[in-house]
Structure 1
């Protein structure tokens, strides 16, 4: 697996990229925090609890407002794994799915250990963040997928019957590899999704989502981004449910004014492709980020995954300044998210200066070890 590189980054381009990286990661986390506490509630229950407009503000969960779940935790470890893959490339070891798998195993340790193990020097800084050592109802598929050292692959996927959206919800960072060709972004996201979600609908949804984020992060429109995903999907066995869901989302935009009933219809049976359709639809029709996110989580499906997927798209499209400041102020782990986002942007724009043969930084290699 390779990548295109060598882009010349001017100051304006670097600032725009950094804003989109921050926006993507913060947006996905805010969507997770907004939607996860109400996941599985029926439309009737949402109305009874939050009024006729449904959920319109961050609800409390895990003893606070703005709490994130395993969806955000795994997204952070996706970013960590991508940085580590770039660092390890200097050694001649270039297999990003393996580096991502190692990162996800570090996440799995946070779900069973009491806190960081300082003896594991190769874990890097993210695995030493104590706030991540919290079990936030992780999906069974993710726990089983990372329960041992064996890495799921497309030829031998973990949980081959699992069609859920959790793998897609951790896949936005793949789309931030803006120097890569779209087909390589798609392939990497698909391969990493198969480590926990082996059903074609689940891993093809993850690949499609990553490609859509990728196009948005490069400044393209959402319509053009979805079209790119549809083209790449067409060559993949088992693509039809995902293709149909994306086309339904685009058609729904033209049908009538935004409405919860349309979102509920797009959710379908609550599997990955339906939640991606919700994210695309709500990103297209929301007047602003707040309205788009609220529309995305008021349904009877996995509202957390829908919120995370939608937030990632909105953040990649508009950048961090478009996100609701009041929600960001209460977002759990925001300092960690910002540091990781900025490290990712720095790695992707100035990586050779940080750890290349001409100027390795010991500080960077301590944060992101090659081991």
Structure 2
């Protein structure tokens, strides 16, 4: 077990950590490693030159709000409604009259490179069968709050179900579910190794989960042989698809407990750097708490006040299982 931490420490750490990793990676999203190395140096992205978060943190916050607003048993419908509110922020410039909660906050109306499948899926109403061939990482990067809401197996099931609101491919659901399950285990005080191992075992229960299971197995092996550093995650892919983004974050989580070093490694590569950074930040925060995050990053990340308030609401609620 890791050191004793309060539920609030872990929830706040998870949400702020995700925002920090997101902001670090958003500075270089879409950039090839060669360009990152030229602009930032061989050590990669080691500073927060801009504090802006991307759609990853936006959607994570709306996931959290949907769960907080849900009546017992009505979580899926409430999260779906929350995602539709997020979708509205991507079409408007300012909150409409009468908006409440996150939908009333003007800073969340900035478009920060939202994923095409997230937009098209919600444009279609988030119904069954949407984007059946899509397994983009947009399902994973928003799913950490499911790990606060319930126990590991319930978190997996709800994250998997909610992923289909935008991405119909089963690997997208399995990756979102595995991520939520790992977060739930970390919230319970399990070590990263045990949390990841439990998720890997759960994934082996179904063939439709095999791509995610294989990606995590690859991450586990790489973490045991290659310490995380700039572009060392390249064998795992670029993170555009769900299982690759999760694998890159898990590789860094298992490879080092140095949060600064791990976050730098998770974003210093070609590909979807903000998503891989956000996922790892969520995992580090849930594992080690808010105080483990580099203070100069966590203190200035965009939206910190809103994130802190949401974390306080979550921490005040007892886990449902």
Same fold by TM-score greater than 0.5: yes
Distance 1:203 1:42 in 2: 28
The alpha-carbon deviation at position 40 of structure 1 amounts to 2.2
Q: Which residue of 1 aligns with 2:93?
A: 114
> Are residues 1:138 and 2:97 paired?
no
The alpha-carbon deviation at position 246 of structure 1 amounts to 0.6
Q: Would you say the 8 A contact 1:81–1:102 is kept in 2? A: yes
The alpha-carbon deviation at position 79 of structure 1 amounts to 0.5
SS of the residue corresponding to residue 166 of structure 2 reads coil
- How does 1:35-54 map onto structure 2 within 5 Å? 35-54=25-44
Q: Would you say the 8 A contact 1:252–1:262 is kept in 2? A: no
Distance 1:326 1:43 in 2: 25
Residue 105 (structure 2) aligned to one of 129, 150, 154: 129
Distance 2:251 2:62 in 1: 27
Q: Which residue of 1 aligns with 2:11?
A: 21
Q: 1:269 to 1:218 in 2, by over 3 A?
A: closer
Q: Would you say the 8 A contact 2:133–2:169 is kept in 1? A: yes
The alpha-carbon deviation at position 19 of structure 1 amounts to 0.6
Residue 139 (structure 2) aligned to one of 145, 164, 167: 167
SS of the residue corresponding to residue 87 of structure 2 reads helix
Q: CA RMSD in A?
A: 1.9
The alpha-carbon deviation at position 261 of structure 1 amounts to 4.7
Deviation track 1:315-341 (CA, whole Å, cap 9, x = no partner) reads 000000111111122211100000011
Structure 2 segments unaligned to the other structure (5+ residues): none
SS of the residue corresponding to residue 190 of structure 2 reads coil
Deviates more, 1:340-349 or 1:68-77: 340-349
Structure 1 segments unaligned to the other structure (5+ residues): 1-12, 60-64, 352-371
The alpha-carbon deviation at position 96 of structure 1 amounts to 1.2
Count of residues paired in the alignment: 318
Distance 1:132 1:254 in 2: 39
Q: Which residue of 2 aligns with 1:364?
A: none
Distance 1:181 1:51 in 2: 42
Q: Which residue of 2 aligns with 1:210?
A: 180
- How does 1:151-230 map onto structure 2 within 5 Å? 151-152=126-127, 156-177=128-149, 180-230=150-200
Q: Which has the larger radius of gyration?
A: 1
TM-score (normalizing by structure 2): 0.94
The alpha-carbon deviation at position 252 of structure 1 amounts to 1.1
Q: Would you say the 8 A contact 2:44–2:230 is kept in 1? A: no
Q: Would you say the 8 A contact 2:151–2:184 is kept in 1? A: no
The alpha-carbon deviation at position 192 of structure 1 amounts to 0.5
Q: Would you say the 8 A contact 1:97–1:192 is kept in 2? A: yes
Q: Would you say the 8 A contact 1:66–1:332 is kept in 2? A: yes
> Are residues 1:243 and 2:213 paired?
yes
Q: Which residue of 2 aligns with 1:9?
A: none
